[in-house]
Amino acid sequence: MKTAYLAAEGHERRLATELDRAGVAVRLTHGRLFVTDGPAVQVAWAANTWFDAEEVSISSIRDGADTLRSRQRSWAVYAPEHRGRAGLIVEKLPSVSGRALDLRELAPSSPLGSWTLLDPTTMLLARHCSSSFANGEVQLAEIRHGPPNRAYRKLWEAFVVLGRYPSAGDGAVDLGASPGGWTWLLHELGCNVVAVDKAPLDPAVERLPRVEARTQSAFAPLEDDRVPRWVTSDIACYPERLFGLIDRWCGLNPKPTLIFTIKFQGETDHDIVDRFRSFDGARLVHLHHNKHELTLFLDP
């Protein structure tokens, strides 16, 4: 059994460290792809994980295409090398839509396999992958009017990865909301949003009918008897401080769904990443729209 991990672009060293800390030996690297023997482990810095990968010899371009088509219809290529030959194989495969998602759309449900050419006659392929998007790159349509910045795309992608969006009428708290990109998106999806930040919201966001702006620190207790359905945060702060904030919100009953960005300054602190994993049900993901940061999901 082989498992291959495709590092998020620019984060190869962080994935290598993560695999090493998990006791996973890398058999070979191929561009951003780390090929290992054994079952998959949970990693945060991989854009896509290839499960039960096969190494197959091919005799020709036609043979490569037939090998893939014999297993399933839809495939995405990762081609850091041998791009010309890989492109000729792609031409003989059924086309796969790369259309960007519209708001409220979820990930495609049909399986999308991944493959690469390790050399001109050796193909590595996996029918099942952790992402249903080519190379883990979630494509979102551009919303040109409404959001005050592009940060809303991180939260949008988070909902796609989570597999569901908020429902109309859900209560939400957005911590560190200014200038309001995440608050805008939550409102657009029908939420009643409490936006918390010492800094002001964009005036257009603050005027939205279901937005309540509270000028206070995101780390201060929120005086409210209502337990929100969603708590989101894109605060720029040290991960250690964020850990305590998340711990406090986890103490609510019933527990809300939490989506928090964990941002790193300088080197990645892998020890604090492991601490975040200690939360019950925690899932850590590097989103396509993240930078040097991870997204934490806590979904009760």
Q: What is the mean predicted confidence (pLDDT) over 26-51?
A: 97
Residue 184 host element (H or E): helix 181-188
Of 244, 191, 238, give the one whose Cα is nearest residue 219.
244
N- to C-terminal Cα separation, the chain: 32
Model confidence at 153: pLDDT above 90: yes
Model confidence at 201: pLDDT above 90: yes
Q: Please state, as a whole number, how many other Cβ atoms lie within 10 Å of the Cβ of residue 214.
A: 17
Q: Would you kindly state where each structural domain of the chain is located, as residue ranges?
A: 2-136, 152-298
Per-residue model confidence (pLDDT) at position 80: 98
Per-residue model confidence (pLDDT) at position 98: 85
Within this chain, domains 2-136 and 152-298 share the same CATH topology: no
Hey, what are 75's tokens? 């495939």
Cis omega before residue 203 (within 30°)? no
Per-residue model confidence (pLDDT) at position 10: 97
CATH of domain 2-136: 3.30.2130
What span, in angstroms and rounded, lies between the C-alpha atoms of 132 and 125? 15
Cis omega before residue 179 (within 30°)? yes
Per-residue model confidence (pLDDT) at position 226: 79
Q: Class assignment of domain 152-298? A: alpha beta
Per-residue model confidence (pLDDT) at position 222: 87
Hey, what are 18's tokens? 């993560």
Q: Identify the three-state secondary structure at position 193.
A: strand
pLDDT tens per residue, range 78-118: 999 999 999 999 999 999 988 999 999 999 999 999 999 99
Per-residue model confidence (pLDDT) at position 188: 98
What span, in angstroms and rounded, lies between the C-alpha atoms of 44 and 132? 17
Per-residue model confidence (pLDDT) at position 156: 98
